[in-house]
Amino acid sequence: MNLRQIEVFRAIMITGSVSDAARLLHVSAPAVSRVLSHTESRLSFPLFERIKGRLHPTEEARRLYHEIELVYRGVQRIDRLTHELAEQRQGMLSIVTSPSIGQTLVPLAIARFCAKYPNVRVHFHCLSYQLLKERLLSRQSQVGVSILQVDHPSLTATPIARGRLLCICPRQHPLAARASVTPRDLQPYPLITYPPDTPFGARIEQLYAQSNEILKIAMEVGSPQNACSLINAGAGIALVDEFSLQAWPTADFAVIPVADAPDIVADLVYLRTEPLSPAATSFVKEFNSVLAERGLEPPVTD
């Protein structure tokens, strides 16, 4: 099947008739009929059964249509990419981040960037670790910020921010007055925590394992933002990252550092083979300014 035959076949599958397919393709119905007849002749099997003036796809046609739709989705991705490449030449910035640091900190930097560069179009997405990495590797995004270490030979990851692991609880909770807490201090109080197969859930389980303490779970939630909402409503205690807390400046809960917990480091991530564009470099400058104001500068390295 050549591209024209594929186009006609797909139009008939979508519309269900030759006349409607002709209108969709802006050609005459006889022209569509000729292409369909020639296609079926070349294939040596029918694609449609004619029943009461309507075309009903055969089993072969249904299988063929499934594969053709995969091709069309690929064509649509190429079309989107060409538009994005054109926008990049004219001024476009695509940013992907981990949800926690993308809740407040990155939007603040984007707002400052847009105020200075109003003609630059910005695409901004908060994504899971795997999707963030895939978008950078496929060049769908220029720059990423991840609170999980991105380990890939084609990506450069540079520490850009450092946050703490913090315990949050209602202000009347017995832990609220403490200067710091440890997993042992938390033992009497089951946590609002996260699924163990998520990066943050795994981090908390590791903290408890290193302290030889058993993690007691009161509730599992999808993200630190969910935990903050529950604690703000007076439910239980939780461990969250300092980046997520930036979205809760007036929260009605106590915030307590977790003693000896490793810092949570956010990395700036981009393709190793391509330097940051001028727009991305300007965004990073604004982001660094926001981080400095919030006391979240990157860790000091020797």
> What domains does the chain contain, in order, with CATH numbers?
3-83 (1.10.10.10), 91-160+264-293 (3.40.190.10), 165-257 (3.40.190.10)
Helix, strand, coil % over all residues of the chain, rounded to 5: 45, 20, 35
pLDDT at 156: 93
**pLDDT tens sequence for the chain (302 residues):** 888 888 899 899 988 888 898 998 999 999 999 999 999 888 888 999 888 777 889 999 999 998 888 888 888 878 777 776 665 555 789 999 998 899 999 999 999 999 999 888 899 999 888 899 999 998 889 999 998 888 899 999 999 999 999 999 999 999 999 999 999 999 999 999 998 888 788 889 999 999 999 999 999 998 899 999 999 999 999 999 999 999 998 999 999 999 989 999 999 999 999 888 888 999 999 999 999 999 887 766 54
Tell me the three state secondary structure of residue 259. Answer: coil
Question: Would you say 14 and 65 are in contact if contact means Cβ atoms under 8 Å apart?
Answer: no
Q: What angle (nearest 5°) sits at the alpha carbon of residue 35, between those of residues 32 and 41?
A: 140
Chain position carrying tokens 């990155």:
106
Distance, CA of 215 to CA of 101 (rounded, Å): 26
The DSSP string of 121-188 is: EEEEEE--HHHHHHHHHTTS-SEEEESS----TTEEEEEEEEE-EEEEE-TTSTTTT-S-B-HHHHTT
Q: Which residues contact 45 (CB under 8 A, 6 or more apart)?
A: 58, 60
Question: Would you say 204 and 193 are in contact if contact means Cβ atoms under 8 Å apart?
Answer: yes
Q: Tell me the one-letter amino acid at 108.
A: L
Q: What angle (nearest 5°) sits at the alpha carbon of residue 53, between those of residues 47 and 54?
A: 45
Tokens linked to 284: 């990073």
Distance, CA of 42 to CA of 253 (rounded, Å): 72
Please give the DSSP secondary-structure letter assigned to residue 253.
Answer: S
Tokens linked to 206: 């590791």
Half-sphere exposure of 172 (CA within 13 A, CB side): 3
